[in-house]
Structure 1
């Protein structure tokens, strides 16, 4: 069988032969490159002996064995690599010339070997061994999608066994990135979007201003015209204080349509305006300022304005456009004012 080369984006891996002694010596005659292999640089005799040992392991009729790593376009010597099989597990390895360290080459080679082992050799698992002190190579394997699975203490070396386990990790990373991206989008939107909201509606009531104001400053009277009272016939009401004066509080508790909360008169400008504070307790907690204003149109007609305002904290304010305050609350306010008009004009 003619052994094919292994290619990555920038490099070509070619099975080594006895003719590669000079190239292998250039790599092995370096203390730093051989630090975690033999502990020292090899002389030519030692290098040739090691190469012969490698070549004796596998012949030319298999993808397994030792490879030279060379630049795909330049032909420059980059280092060596290996592919071994142990049962259904494929073991990968690499050594890179010192002048090419720190360029991401080892990571590209490791990924290329993993891909080749999985796709061509049909390896069920891809493994690699690395000395526990070889921090640089540990980072390379992690970048290539491998994880530390075991610590092995041999007589001459303490090493880690790494296994290729990218899918779960990759999916988790993707999910994490999506979540972080969504959070970032929400936070950016929250700082850009407004936090304050306000709704106001009005109606003309054909009654004198004094009569209209005297009626609307009573919170108990709201039960006669507010649309929310009609949403729960069994609503529970309670009161505290003197109606029509500052401090009077109307409390309610009903079904999911009306929830639970209270409304307190906070200020009265006689004949002009009643300010209240709405404190919602259920189904969510919220505090809003509300008001009713009377304006004379003519001696027998009065314009009544009913409105409320509030602020939603970051990042919850991103929900404002979806809550439909202006439409839903505005409709209830307008329906309530129409009820008030019909009641007072009888």
Structure 2
């Protein structure tokens, strides 16, 4: 299964992440505001970001899919990431495995511009056309209203709440319908 698309929307290009995205990914993941509803542990060094990209490339090679860079067409800038991550036994979430976790993260400067929803719609369209044989889920911190709205706009429904031990957070569990 190889699912590494290059998707295009009106304002965005969505493509595999590479070392060309190192500075943009570091800039985003070092912003404390980006981590408010995560572990509250922003990235501290560029080497941490290099490791993230190296791990993504391994995932691309092993599984044929993974998180994707979101590039703003007008500026050509990396503004975030979106897409799917296959959850195996070692990455278990909510006591569940063998599913795609749909997620996204964006630089604080682009919040509120509709990019997350625009990119999510493109990814869900791709999923519906190419990947429906793999179960699709998502999660979000119970207080992250903006993220909840994105997930619900593209067809996810809350099915339960759970405590995400790895991050010590209370979350909503979403299933794609």
Gaps of 5+ in 2: 88-96
Compared CA separation, residues 153 and 88, structure 1 to 2 (3 A): closer
Deviation string 1:35-56 (CA, Å, 9 cap, x unpaired) is 2333032112333333333333
Alpha-carbon contact 1:18-1:55 (below 8 Å) kept: no
User: Which residue number in structure 2 is paired with residue 90 of structure 1?
Assistant: 100
Which secondary structure does the structure 2 equivalent of 1:158 belong to? strand
Provide the rounded CA distance (Å) in 1 between the counterparts of 2:124 and 2:34.
Answer: 22
User: Which residue number in structure 2 is paired with residue 114 of structure 1?
Assistant: 124
Provide the rounded CA distance (Å) in 2 between the counterparts of 1:96 and 1:2.
Answer: 22
Taking the TM superposition and a 5 Å limit, the aligned residue runs for 1:1-346 are: 3-44=4-45, 45-59=47-61, 62=64, 64-86=65-87, 89-123=99-133, 125-155=135-165, 156-165=168-177
Provide the rounded CA distance (Å) in 2 between the counterparts of 1:8 and 1:125.
Answer: 24
Deviation string 1:264-311 (CA, Å, 9 cap, x unpaired) is xxxxxxxxxxxxxxxxxxxxxxxxxxxxxxxxxxxxxxxxxxxxxxxx
Provide the rounded CA distance (Å) in 2 between the counterparts of 1:100 and 1:39.
Answer: 20
Provide the rounded CA distance (Å) in 2 between the counterparts of 1:161 and 1:42.
Answer: 26
Q: CA RMSD in A?
A: 2.5
Alpha-carbon contact 2:158-2:175 (below 8 Å) kept: yes
Which secondary structure does the structure 1 equivalent of 2:34 belong to? coil
Which secondary structure does the structure 1 equivalent of 2:126 belong to? helix
Alpha-carbon contact 2:99-2:137 (below 8 Å) kept: yes
TM norm structure 1? 0.43
Provide the rounded CA distance (Å) in 2 between the counterparts of 1:90 and 1:141.
Answer: 14
Q: Which is greater in Rg?
A: 1
Q: How many correspondences in the alignment?
A: 164
Provide the rounded CA distance (Å) in 2 between the counterparts of 1:154 and 1:33.
Answer: 18
Deviation string 1:115-172 (CA, Å, 9 cap, x unpaired) is 111112234543211111212111111122221112121322221111222xxxxxxx
Gaps of 5+ in 1: 166-346
Which secondary structure does the structure 2 equivalent of 1:59 belong to? helix
Alpha-carbon contact 1:12-1:70 (below 8 Å) kept: yes
User: Which residue number in structure 2 is paired with residue 314 of structure 1?
Assistant: none
Which secondary structure does the structure 2 equivalent of 1:92 belong to? strand
TM norm structure 2? 0.79
